[in-house]
Structure 1
Amino acid sequence: MLGLSPWRFVVAFGTVSLLMDFVYEGARSITGPLLAGLGASAAVVGVVTGAGEAAALGLRLVSGPLADRTRRFWGLTIGGYALTAASVPLLGLTGVLWVACALVIAERVGKAVRSPAKDTLLSHATAVTGRGRGFAVHEAMDQVGALIGPLTVAALLAAGGGYGVALGVLAVPGVAALAVLLWLRARVPDPASYETAAAPKRDHTTENPARLPRAFWVYAGFTATTMAGFATFGVLSFHVVERHLLSPALVPVLYAAAMVADALAALATGWLYDRAGPRALVSLPLLAAGVPLLAFTDAVWPVVLGSLLWGAAVGVQESTLRAVVADLVPSPRRATAYGVFAGVLGVATLGGGALTGALYEQSVPMLIVTVAAVQGAALVLLGATWGRRPA
């Protein structure tokens, strides 16, 4: 008998994510100036942070299949979180540029190691709570940490604490997160039992167990398409500052407001997904199409509204998109699917940032029209996913 109800498992895992987002989002908010203070050029900062993000997504193509092959979901989850929890405080202690660069990348490697295994563990409990609602509650709690971390670091720096103190303090939520995670593993050593108890196994005799289902690839195509037409906050914030709509000091406040929209949208679409299935994701292309229409104007309030739409779209991406993967792929291949899905998402996000940035330089109206066309194509692919959701 499992030691926690499915909802308590989801909330406990959400607490772990809240605490760890406190840690690594706090660190990421000052990575640029910290590296610059150690002598890094803008090019070095760009290469290091870019390499970190590439590692966070690309290495999941390895860690996902590894989790499925070894079935060491807890070990990979704990190991990945431990790497992040150790890297951040050490980053505040080092005075050597190359060591700091290695620690920045190591923190992102930790995310790559844990993410497919973590999402698989969470997917088992959400089979009972509802995929959409379970992943949405997890994402909402995650975003609380993403708000607290940068604000805490900013307050400590403003008080004159320096980078060492600001990042050293982040060791506290890191240790707390690992303690909760170890307690959770002791209480629920086999979360797959939630799913097997909730419903009988589906008949997959017509599928090749060595391959991911065709429905997953159709869905991955939808995801890649919608992300290829999604503007990044980097382009949005560039526009805000270059057009003198907000001061640079207010950009983090705008980002924080977008993160609130992120959490609310995750909860709303998660609830809707459990009732309407993948049709709930119609909101994602519509939100993505609305972002450039509002965010790239020359008036403050439309830009603010466009930023909130951007945050809401990110909330859907971070919660409900992950929930659908769990419904499309059977448990034995789910970690692999999450790894592949992250790779698709990473490549598409890179393409979307490059596309929207290049179009912004050429013509904002062209950007708006192109994004609308791309999101229209995404809606067509989403329609193909509707008929492929497992019963």
Structure 2
Amino acid sequence: MPQKAAALKFVILLGFVSLCADATYEGARSITGAYLQVLGASGTVVGLVAGFGELIGHGLRLAIGYLSDQTRKYWGITTLGYILNTAVVPFLALAGRWEVAAGLMMAERTGKAIRTPPRDALLSHGASQIGRGFGFGLHEAMDQTGAVMGPLAVAAMIYFQGEYRNAFTILIVPAVLGLIVLIVLQFLYPNPSDFEVEIETDREEKLPRIFLIYLGAVAIIAAGYADFPLIAFHFQKQDIASGQTIPLFYAVAMGVDAIAALIFGYLFDRTGISILIVAAFLSSLFAPLVFLGNTQLALLGIAFWGIGMGAQESILKAAIAGMVPKNKRATAYGIFSTGYGLSWFLGSALMGILYDRSITALIVFSSATQLLAIPFFVWVKLHFSTSSSVPEAITSQDTI
């Protein structure tokens, strides 16, 4: 099989694994808050569990990325992460206390932290044959398809069965299916790094300095990107959408996310870093529409929010694959995920405070951060060559 066709098949199969995983844990996450309340947890507990879970989910990736590169056990670590990420979800149906449910939720977030850096490194090898933007964009599109399917399946089970426990049980199906495909995939492609041609810079032992500048731009964007729970809170408080229609807004965002990932991935392969500038500008438009508009304008704002998410989950990672030597890539993705997650966490906390004091201040902060990232992307563009897939004129003095 020609390399390009084999690489495309590899990316699609890995994307299917992510689709099943997202259907499993996003399906669960759509009701875990309500489930904890049913089990007797307080609002404070729910907030702490959710926040601490995200902190684990991003913070642990720093160590996992480094460990993956040092051991070269990319498949083994990825498999362990997916097992923990998805296999624990159906056991939520057996949780009789909120403490048990909270522990399982922490385990699920830990699994996601373990599998993400090595998975992204593996994906980058296959994407190198078909276009990194397209490869990561296709993966994100499949990923978000699962993120829509899971909550819809859970909603259907609750509608017909009326209990959260039955909804968790149905998630056994995507969990098992995804793990079967993952196991088969590593036998079919034991060394995905063979897809990527070895080049001189791959022997560089340090990460390029341009990566640090790029990470700064990404952190700025993440800090000002309002999380959906805050948006949903605003919709409920201002009667922009009801409790029944808010999930539909989220489904729209996820659908736009999937489409945007494919489009931006395609454009990244043809225009390079420049498309990140466009994505940052479009992201700056969501806050005023979401927080100041009526239902129709809020829906348009959600579409821009989804566009930004699609770009962030696809081309931001695709760009890293062209900057960093492949033997350091899992480390880079671990650093990226940790920095992104920490910045998102701090920015979300600040925007929650700003919301209670001044929605205008929140909008200014959110939009300004997206626009502030643009000069950083311009700098990276001037020092980055997507045609060669490596930074331009990187010397030993340009590493960190």
List aligned pairs for 1:117-266, cutoff 5 A.
Answer: 117-160=118-161, 162-196=163-197, 200-203=198-201, 209=205, 211-266=206-261
User: 1:49 is matched by which residue type in structure 2?
Assistant: A
Moved more, 357-366 or 114-123: 357-366
Deviation at 1:287, TM superposition (A): 2.2
Structure 1: distance between partners of 2:44 and 2:355: 22
Q: How many percent of aligned residue pairs carry the same amino acid?
A: 43
1:83-104 CA distances to partner (integer Å, 9 max, x unpaired)? Answer: 1222101111121322211100
Q: CA deviation at 1:169?
A: 1.5
Q: Deviations over 1:38-62 (max 9, x none)?
A: 1111111111111111111000011
Query: How has the CA–CA distance of structure 1 residues 45 and 175 changed in structure 2, closer, same or farther, with 3 Å as cutoff?
Result: same
Say which SS state the counterpart of residue 353 (structure 1) adopts.
Answer: helix
- Say whether the 8 Å CA contact 1:229–1:288 is kept in structure 2: no
Q: 1:137 to 1:204 in 2, by over 3 A?
A: closer
CA contact (8 A) 1:12 1:184 kept: yes
Q: How far apart are residue 264 of structure 1 and its match?
A: 1.1
The CA distance in 2 between the partners of 1:23 and 1:290, in whole Å, is 32
Match of 1:42 in 2: 43
Deviation string 1:20-71 (CA, Å, 9 cap, x unpaired) is 1111111111111111111111111111111111111000011100100100
The 1:111–1:236 alpha-carbon spacing in structure 2 relative to 1, beyond 3 Å, is: same
Deviates more, 1:272-281 or 1:359-368: 359-368
Task: Indicate the SS of the match to 1:231.
Answer: coil
Q: Is the partner of 1:274 in helix, strand or coil?
A: helix
Would the aligned equivalents of 1:65 and 1:336 in 2 still touch at CA under 8 Å? yes
| TM-fit CA distance, 1:360 | 2.7
Paired position in structure 2 for 1:7: 8
Deviation (angstroms), 1:291: 1.0
Judge conservation of contact 2:283–2:307 (CA < 8 Å) in 1: no
> Residue 362 and residue 98 in structure 1: after superposition, are their counterparts in 2 closer, same or farther (change >3 A)?
closer
Which residue is 2:340 aligned to?
345
TM-superposition CA deviations, 1:283-318 (whole Å, max 9, x none)? 232122101121112411111100111111111111
Question: Is this contact kept in 1: 2:287–2:367, CA < 8 A?
Answer: no
The range that moved more, 229-238 or 321-330, is: 229-238
Alignment correspondent of 2:289: 294
The AA in structure 1 aligned to 2:332 is A
Indicate whether 1:385 and 2:380 are aligned. yes
Q: Please, what TM-score do these two structures have when normalized by structure 2? A: 0.93
> Residue 367 in 1 paired to residue 362 in 2?
yes
Counterpart amino acid of 2:146? G
Secondary structure at the residue paired with 1:284? helix
| Structure 1: distance between partners of 2:73 and 2:136 | 21
Query: Which position in structure 2 is the counterpart of 1:269?
Result: 264
CA contact (8 A) 2:89 2:108 kept: yes
User: How far apart in 2 are the matches of 1:61 and 1:42?
Assistant: 30
* Partner Cα distance (1:332, 1:190) in 2: 13
Q: How far apart are residue 215 of structure 1 and its match?
A: 0.9
Deviations 1:114-148 (A, max 9, x none): 00000000000011110000000010011111111
CA contact under 8 A between 1:56 and 1:112: conserved in structure 2?
Answer: yes
The answer (yes or no) to whether the contact 1:10–1:126 under 8 Å persists in 2 is yes
Q: CA deviation at 1:2?
A: 8.6
- Cα RMSD (Å): 1.6
Give 1:279's match in structure 2, choosing from 264, 274, 286.
274
Alpha-carbon shift at residue 387 of structure 1 (Å): 2.3
One-letter amino acid of the structure 2 residue matched with residue 89 of structure 1: P
The whole-number CA distance in structure 2 between the counterparts of 1:315 and 1:156 is: 28
The question of whether the paired residues in 2 share the 8 Å contact of 1:79 and 1:114 is answered with yes
AA at the equivalent of 1:124: H
Instruction: Kindly report which structure 2 residues correspond to 1:70-85, keeping only aligned pairs within 5 A, or say none.
Output: 70-85=71-86
Query: Residue 152 of structure 1: SS of its match in structure 2?
Result: helix
CA contact (8 A) 1:230 1:356 kept: no
Question: Are 1:116 and 1:335, in contact at CA under 8 Å, matched by a contact in 2?
Answer: yes
Matched residues in 1 for 2:244 and 2:328: separation? 45
CA contact (8 A) 2:53 2:105 kept: yes
Structure 2's unaligned 5+ residue stretches are 389-400
* CA positional deviation for 1:354: 2.3
CA drift at 1:181: 0.7
The answer (yes or no) to whether the contact 2:264–2:315 under 8 Å persists in 1 is yes
Q: Does 1:86 align with 2:81?
A: no
Structure 1: segments with no counterpart, 5+ residues: none
Q: Quick one: distance in 2 between partners of 1:271 and 1:114? A: 26
CA contact (8 A) 1:240 1:246 kept: yes
Letter in 2 for 1:191: P
Cα 1:204–1:335 change in 2 (3 A) is: closer
Query: What letter corresponds to residue 346 of structure 1 in structure 2?
Result: G
Task: Judge conservation of contact 2:201–2:325 (CA < 8 Å) in 1.
Answer: no
